[in-house]
Amino acid sequence: MSYDLTDGIELSDEQREFVALARDFARNEIRPRSRAIDEADTEAPMDLWAKAAEIGLAAYMLPTEYGGGGVTDLVTQCLVQEELCHGDIGIANFLTSSSFFADPILSLGTDEQKKKWITPLTGSTPPVTSVAVTEPDVGSDAAGLQTRAVRDGDHYVLNGLKTWISNAPLSQYFVVFATFDPGLRSRGVTAFVVERDREGVTVGAPMKKYGQRGTLNAEVFLENVRVPVENRLGEEGKGFYGLMHTFDASRILIGAAATGLSRAILEDAVQYARERTQFGKPIIEHQAVAFRLADMAAKTDISHVVTMRAARLHDAGKPATAASAIAKLTASENTTWVANAGLMTHGGWGYSREFLVEKWLRDAKLEEIEEGTSDIQRLIISRAVAAR
């Protein structure tokens, strides 16, 4: 299925070039590696990381003043993310992960901190980075962090355990969210940049996952880690604001990622339905299959539309928290439905590794869980509805 990638919005030639670059990279570099990375389970495609950095895809979304591509509007970022995830969602999320690390620094950091921590992300050999929020007992309730940050002169001492941290096995730098007083809930949350080589930082082995294996996850242990005050982002207790600002944008990008995955599944299912024959004709001519494909197309298109609406609101500086949640909820649940429908269209072969659709179903499920489960998105949306 094809889309008018501008949705009626005029994009600059440079923005169009980034979208075309992402499409070509996804087709020629990402998709051919999709199955092998999935089978390898815990091996990140560092060669693709290097290639993406070389052509500017790893830093296209970062500001030009720090050497990035300057595509800071979410509309264009969503279009690029759709294309990359059309190739492989796990690999694409890894290749564009620098923006997730950079966002709290851009939201909370000083000019000096931005220059120090973001500029290296735009070089030819950028470091891999992570954002460390989730803990064993703290997932959806981000205000309930237990990782402690205790002031000790011109340092903070961090103690705690983070889990399910994307990129952790490879990361050189972490934005760690901790609290100086758990009783304060969100008002105690504070963000720090923590270097991997600081004494007391230990990273666990890569987790074996159900899907999206192109992005590695692991636990991060913090034991009496001394972090200088200049590594604190913003004032004490302001970290939750930065985290929510990050989530507002990243959930919209999840909507775009899920839409890209849905597009891949839909296109694959249509092609298979044209080629597979039963009862003397291609199965696409059987109404049951044709109607399933119609529903897949409708859900994919809806995901695209609500995601782009949220991106436009965000870019316009308007309140976008509810729209972000709607985009994330809709696109993530739709892509799981589309993936299951794609597998059913393939019949028995859909259950085989001969086709990517079984992998895509596994990949899709994570979109309903990461950065706030579907239940959390419904909570956000319901509160917005009640406040009207």
Residues 161 and 145: beta-carbon distance below 8 Å: no
Residues 331 and 368: beta-carbon distance below 8 Å: no
DSSP code for 319: -
Concatenating the DSSP letter of every residue in 338-349 gives: HHHHHHHHHGGG
CA 20/CA 300 separation, integer angstroms: 20
Residues 6 or more apart whose CB falls under 8 angstroms from that of 157 comprise 149, 150, 224, 225, 226, 227
Assess whether 371 carries a catalytic annotation.
yes
Residue with tokens 């889990």: 163
Q: What distance separates the 2 farthest-apart alpha carbons in the chain? A: 80
Q: Which structure tokens are listed for 85?
A: 């995830």
Q: Which of 82, 83, 135, 371 is catalytic?
A: 371
Helix axes 111-118, 98-108, angle to 10 degrees: 170
Angle CA 242–254–78, to nearest 5:
95
Tell me which residues are annotated as active site.
371
